[in-house]
Amino acid sequence: MKLIAGLGNPDVKYINTRHNTGFMVLDRILEKKNLKLQEKFKSFFAKDGDVLYLLPKTYMNLSGFAIVEAMNFYKLNIKDILIVYDDISLPLGTLRFRDKGSDGGHNGIKSIIKETGSSNFDRLKVGIGPQPKNMPSEKFVLENFRQEEKENLDIALNTAMNASLDWLQLDVQKLQEKYNKSHI
């Protein structure tokens, strides 16, 4: 069993914000696979064979609670999960796979590390930058993408969708070689 979780905020007012990039990637996977969401694990989720797709309803800063609930239910190992989320330090269109690391200042990742007790999980960072110099990061991540970014966002989301699905078949080193770059 594998788990792919996209991070975001469930309230409709956040639907098109930069911080919901993880949700946007998962939405594309669900649409491509024609999967319908259910509610459990403090999340919206869909199951497709031995893969669980998860969108936590806990809001970004408490994402770890939903991840742990699903992991415990399915008795998943920390290496059986992929977390897809926004990264403010990467330009829009840039992807980065990592198999461990710090939270990098991302509160969703901080929550997952705290609740799982480990930072050794696979992650796919999706660039949402650059952040304007005089804008606080808290404000920037809760902004909607600008109209002139939409075409590049579409490319980034489709590439991240394919990268997430490739994760089911490939090890992180191969994924890094294939995807760790700008795609626009």
Pair 85, 126: CB distance under 8 Å: yes
Give the pLDDT confidence of 117-134 residue by residue, as tens digits. 999 999 999 999 999 999
Whether residue 55 is contained in a domain is answered as: yes
Please state, in angstroms and rounded to a whole number, the distance separating the CA atoms of residues 11 and 56.
11
For residue 9, the domain's CATH number is 3.40.50.1470
Whether residue 127 is contained in a domain is answered as: yes
Whether residue 15 is contained in a domain is answered as: yes
Please state, in angstroms and rounded to a whole number, the distance separating the CA atoms of residues 47 and 30.
10
Whether residue 171 is contained in a domain is answered as: yes
Give the pLDDT confidence of 14-69 residue by residue, as tens digits. 999 999 999 999 999 999 999 999 999 999 999 999 999 999 999 999 999 999 99
pLDDT of residue 94: 98
Three-state secondary structure along 114-152?
HHHCCCCCEEEEEEEECCCCCCCHHHHHCCECCHHHHHH
Main-chain phi, psi angles of 19, to 5 degrees: -70, -10
Assess whether 183 carries a catalytic annotation: no
Structural domain boundaries, residue 25: 2-179
Whether residue 184 is contained in a domain is answered as: no
Average pLDDT of the chain? 97
Q: Which of 18, 19, 106, 125 is catalytic?
A: 19
Q: What is the total count of domains within the chain? A: 1
Whether residue 31 is contained in a domain is answered as: yes
Whether residue 45 is contained in a domain is answered as: yes
